[in-house]
Amino acid sequence: MQAVIDLLRKEHPSASIETVSYDGDTYELIIEHETIVYFVGIKLTRANMQTAAKLSLYAKTIGQRFQGKKVAIKLFAPAITTDAKAALIKAGWTFQKLPTGKPRGAPSDAVKITSPGSWKVVCYFLRNEEATMNKASVDTGVSYPWARAVIKKLVEIGAFKEEGRKVSLASLDRLFEYVVWERPINSLRSLEFCSAYEDEQEALHELYSNVSGIIPSSACALFTASDLYLEGVASGGCIQLYADENAALVVKSLLGEGCGVSFQIYSPDREMEDIHLINDIRVVSPEQTILDLAGLGPYGAASAKVIVDYYRKISRQN
């Protein structure tokens, strides 16, 4: 999948690229030029009529969104059923077969910069101006072979740079672009509702004064976490937090439904071991906040950069 994404990025260097969805098997994105919009589906398993129907539905939505522009659809998959391929051709869409094997010597897709261990290495260089690979490995506790593979990947995509034995950050923009390719945060959203509470702080204090020991893995995230770190209070009329399926239902039941503060709940994709308390409210770490905001793409990039500055500041103080 990553090889296709990298290829598309090279083919459309000046285009605006937006992730639509990612469910582990299928990655969908929009590539927007001045006069044409490409909708691209990347499927890791055989495409079938259900795949074609989904593309057709998206095509109608995209056509309405980008009125006045030509919409072209392209599907990548290792194989496709005969009826699905015929439907694609009839609709004027394009199918391209994905290779089933990896060429010898090709970069490994196993290196994910957004995995917990890899992100430790990334954050090490966010808070330190430069360091050697060995020092990054020792200080983060990540094995040298893995730390080296992560750094090499980041250098390859233009996010990091190497000068002699020293490694440093080269481009936050390139780093964040890659984060949203690998881990679009909206793919983790599991529940949305409007609560009966009109005030964000009141809702959060009600939540965390009642759930101690009930949903210990729940914590504020994204813009809510950013607000709490920078201002000490949540704002904006929407609270974003992590909670698993059962915990999300507890949150909804506890806070009730109404026309008040809205909640966006995300399913955790990793252990939330580093939880901070701000005015007795549970918040994910600054490192996690940067990762999550970057996973929103352009919508969250500016806020992610602000948290990077905050992260550097508190790291120097410690």
Does 127 lie in the same domain as 81? Answer: no
Residue 271 within any structural domain of the chain:
yes
Does 63 lie in the same domain as 146? Answer: no
* Residue 228 in this model has a pLDDT that exceeds 60: yes
* Residue 100 in this model has a pLDDT that exceeds 60: no
Does 212 lie in the same domain as 148? Answer: no
Picking from 182, 199, 228, the residue at the C-terminal end of a domain is 182
Structure token digits, residue 37: 């919009």
Write the pLDDT tens digit of every residue in 12-45: 777 777 777 665 567 788 888 888 888 888 887 7
CATH code at position 9? 3.40.1350.10
Residue 104 within any structural domain of the chain:
no
Residue 110 within any structural domain of the chain:
no
Residue 69 within any structural domain of the chain:
yes
Does 189 lie in the same domain as 177? Answer: no
CATH code at position 243? 3.30.460
Q: What is the CA radius of gyration of the chain?
A: 21
Write the pLDDT tens digit of every residue in 264-283: 999 998 887 789 999 889 99
Picking from 97, 129, 150, the residue at the C-terminal end of a domain is 97
Picking from 43, 68, 97, the residue at the C-terminal end of a domain is 97
Instruction: Print the domain residue range for 223.
Output: 185-317
pLDDT classification of 216: cutoffs 50, 70, 90:
low
pLDDT at 108: 47
Residue 266 within any structural domain of the chain:
yes
Residue 144 within any structural domain of the chain:
yes
Count how many domains the chain has. 3
